[in-house]
Amino acid sequence: MTPRVTVYEVGPRDGLQNEAVTLATGDKLALVGALADAGLPRIEATSFVSPRWIPQLADAAEVTAALPRRSGLAYAALVPNARGLERLLAALAARGEGIADVAAAVVVSASESHNLRNLNRPVAGTLAELEALVPAARARGLPVRGYVSTAFGCPYEGRVDPGRVAEIAHRLLALGCAQVSLGDTIGVATPRDVRALLGRLLPSAPAAALALHLHDTRGTALANVLAGLEEGIETFDAAVGGLGGCPYAPGASGNLATEDLVYMLQGMGLETGVDLGRLVAAGALAQRLAGRRLPGRALQAALAARGG
């Protein structure tokens, strides 16, 4: 049996929220449709954060209500607070019966300064909020995915203690998150850091309950994927074309590009269910909509090879 790896697409949310352009709702849905056509099993589609904070995702309700239904495909939407959860539930009601294919995603940073800048409260305050929010989402039938941001390094504090990250990840799992994704928000991790953090978590958390959310800012994302695979991790986040950039380093790569991840996994004989040719088509669409050359290397190589 071919080992299976889950590619968790975050471009429509994590990518677009960090792009300068704001896409029309129809263009966002076209991008989601292209990603669904490529066979991605998980797509984080939008965020129910206040439009005052992230105007690019102000149409979260319209996007959610119109997400295409595909067997084997599940979505997620970021939910920062109780108000966001209510907005997500209203959008799902507008979408009609069967909400089982949309998960709520929640986020907390491992470093105090990043959490303060990002969520406007200390880490303990966010965890206290999540203590109510995660069970509330689950009680309404939504699976919940947790993110730990700055899991390897913080733009304000530097290196982050893996013991602290492990503690927060365990807390999210104990609250009822089905999976916790460990985010290298500023792309500083190396394989040794990945092994060190997973070494703290895997003795007490199943590998399926963990994911890696890697950024390629310094070119280490795929090396870190390999380290994760070797430790038993089965889920990796990525954004089509490397959509999103890095908010802390203008011009630098942010999210690992989905095409780069899928190219490597397929070459290693790992089954993803993703059609790389169709994924490149989605990447070409993302690039056209973003209005800039996207950093994904496998995307650019494929486009160059076809003379486009």
Interface contacts to Mg ion, rule CB under 5 A = 14, 255
Can you give 198-263 as a three-state secondary structure string? HHHHCCCCCHHHEEEECECCCCCHHHHHHHHHHHCCCEEEEEHHHCCCCCCCCCCCCECEHHHHHH
Q: Which three-class secondary structure state does DSSP give residue 47?
A: strand
Smallest distance, Å, CB 133 to Mg ion?
21
Give the span between the Cα atoms of 302 and 144, in whole angstroms: 35
Smallest distance, Å, CB 217 to Mg ion?
10
Measure Cα distances from 41 to 10, 37, 76, 163, 221 in Å.
Answer: 11, 10, 11, 31, 21
For β-strands 144-149 and 102-109, DSSP reports them as parallel
Residue 177 is a catalytic residue: no
Smallest distance, Å, CB 293 to Mg ion?
19
Closer CB to Mg ion, 14 or 231, in the complex: 14
Closer CB to Mg ion, 239 or 285, in the complex: 239
Smallest distance, Å, CB 10 to Mg ion?
6
Which one of the listed residues 194, 229, 246, 279 is annotated catalytic?
Answer: 246
Give the span between the Cα atoms of 24 and 27, in whole angstroms: 5
Measure Cα distances from 12 to 32, 56, 183, 232, 305 in Å.
Answer: 7, 10, 17, 27, 26
Closer CB to Mg ion, 89 or 295, in the complex: 295
Closer CB to Mg ion, 14 or 19, in the complex: 14
Smallest distance, Å, CB 214 to Mg ion?
8
Closer CB to Mg ion, 14 or 260, in the complex: 14
Candidates 44, 27, 113, 28; CA nearest to 79 is: 44
> Which residues are catalytically annotated?
246
